[in-house]
């Protein structure tokens, strides 16, 4: 590159943290701002990381910590609502044969690992700060922040999530749309016999599942048709999830006994969004959930976001010129991979909502995961 370049990353989630680490490793000057004072360090219950996500985490240099902190496994069980195991399917190793097929983790633990990596990278970090205005010209972006300061950048990377204010500020009109499903999630102690994800179909919910997240913990989830959020007071979250979960047997009996604190239960609608045409306007480019989101039916949300960061960092650090053609090429490279995942994730949920009995869910999942084994 002909001159030192400066980058602002908006958002300190998985995508923003990852692209910051990768660009700093290449010697670029990177500022990262995050709206929340706590950097989302305690948010969430658990996360399922498949091999293509682990591949990027290895590139970030944090795989050993992830491996030590999570719970690796290589299969998924399908059970009846009473807990009877009907089938066990080996998972495809989408990150290659030298990585586990899947690692379950406590989401706050993954965030802390990524935070440590960003801090070690030497990036300039400001928490509790937002971008107030973005004034672009052909050479860069002048950003005014909510703390009253101002700075100039060659590129702004918007990694500020599903409800991205940057996306709207640059004139991208896409918004997340509900798919008709919602999920209850909770962290709980891991019963000794839980060594993989098990999914129960049927009963009062569409899916009841759990994923081990360490030697002692798991996260459990129950998927139902979405309800008006206003009709479910937060103080009743534990009661509502426990009511659904109590219909399931096997390990669910022990898990359900720990669903007691409404503050630890999360209720979220499933959303779909895919920005079409391009993921940039001028010198502001979207990555991660700011550009796309899908239901967690394939557990690929974080993986796709991490892949965005990896691909964009590769392209930026290899290019002598940062221009419209480069950012459009980034979009073209990613959309052909992201679109099938978003569409498959939505389709699996739609089949369940419609009660489709002849749906080829295993076939669609196998085709999609096979594609993801290829490098992004």
Per-residue pLDDT of the chain in tens (376 residues, 90 and over written 9): 456 799 999 999 999 999 999 999 999 999 999 999 999 998 889 999 999 999 999 999 999 999 999 999 999 999 999 999 999 999 999 999 999 999 999 999 999 999 999 999 999 999 999 999 999 999 999 999 999 999 999 999 999 999 999 999 999 999 999 999 999 999 999 999 999 999 999 999 999 999 999 999 999 999 999 999 999 999 999 999 999 999 999 999 999 999 999 999 999 999 999 999 999 999 999 999 999 999 999 999 999 999 999 999 999 999 999 999 999 999 999 999 999 999 999 999 999 999 998 999 989 999 999 999 999 9
Q: Which two tokens stand for residue 215?
A: 């030697």
Number of alpha carbons in the 13 Å side-chain half-sphere of residue 319 = 17
Neighbours of 276 (CB within 10 A): 11
Tokens at 344, concatenated = 């498959």
According to the model, what pLDDT value does residue 3 have?
64
* pLDDT attached to residue 42: 87
Task: Report how far residue 276's alpha carbon sits from residue 292's, in angstroms, rounded to the nearest whole number.
Answer: 9
Looking at residue 226, its pLDDT comes to: 96
Q: What architecture is the 179-269 domain classified under in CATH?
A: 2-Layer Sandwich (3.30)
Q: Which residue has the tokens 């089949």?
A: 351
- Please report, for the chain, the start and end positions of each structural domain, with discontinuous segments joined by +: 6-71+105-176+272-373, 179-269
Strand order in the sheet with 71-73: 46-50, 102-106, 71-73
Does the fold of domain 179-269 match that of domain 6-71+105-176+272-373? Answer: no
CATH number for region 6-71+105-176+272-373: 3.50.50.60
State how far the Cα of 296 lies from the Cα of 345, in Å rounded to an integer.
Answer: 7
- pLDDT at position 1 is 42
Predicted structure pTM score? 0.96
Tokens for 342? 């978003």
pLDDT at position 2 is 52
């Amino acid at each position: 590159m002909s001159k030192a370049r400066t980058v602002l990353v908006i958002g300190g989630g998985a995508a923003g943290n990852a692209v910051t680490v990768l660009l700093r490793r290449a010697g670029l000057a990177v500022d990262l701002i995050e709206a929340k004072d706590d950097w989302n360090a305690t948010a969430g219950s658990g996360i399922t990381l498949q091999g293509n996500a682990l591949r990027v985490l290895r590139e970030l240099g944090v795989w050993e910590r992830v491996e030590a902190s999570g719970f690796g496994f290589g299969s998924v069980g399908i059970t009846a609502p009473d807990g009877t195991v009907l089938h066990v399917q080996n998972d495809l190793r989408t990150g290659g044969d030298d990585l586990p097929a899947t690692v379950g983790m406590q989401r706050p633990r993954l965030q802390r690992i990524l935070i440590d990596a960003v801090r070690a990278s030497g990036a300039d970090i400001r928490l509790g700060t937002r971008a107030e205005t973005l004034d672009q010209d052909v050479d860069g972006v002048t950003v005014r922040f909510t703390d009253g300061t101002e700075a100039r950048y060659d590129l702004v990377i918007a990694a500020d999530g599903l409800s991205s204010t940057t996306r709207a500020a640059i004139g991208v009109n896409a918004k997340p749309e509900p798919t008709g499903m919602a999920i209850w999630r909770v962290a709980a102690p891991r019963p000794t016999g839980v060594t993989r994800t098990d999914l129960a179909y049927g009963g009062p919910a569409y899916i009841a599942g759990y994923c081990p997240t360490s030697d002692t913990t798991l996260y459990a989830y129950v998927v139902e048709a979405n309800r008006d959020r206003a009709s479910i007071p937060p103080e009743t979250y534990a009661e509502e999830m426990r009511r659904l979960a109590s219909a399931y047997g096997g390990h669910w009996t022990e898990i359900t006994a720990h669903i007691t604190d409404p503050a630890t239960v999360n209720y979220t609608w499933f959303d779909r969004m895919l920005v079409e045409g391009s993921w940039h306007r001028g010198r502001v480019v979207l990555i991660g959930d700011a550009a796309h989101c899908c239901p967690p039916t394939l557990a690929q949300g974080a993986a796709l976001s991490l892949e965005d960061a990896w691909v964009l960092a590769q392209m930026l650090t290899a290019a002598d010129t940062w221009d419209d053609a480069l950012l459009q090429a980034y979009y073209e490279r990613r959309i052909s991979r992201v679109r099938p995942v978003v569409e498959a994730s939505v389709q699996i949920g739609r089949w369940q909502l419609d009660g489709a009995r002849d749906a080829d869910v295993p076939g669609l999942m196998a085709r999609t995961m096979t594609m993801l084994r290829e490098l992004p």
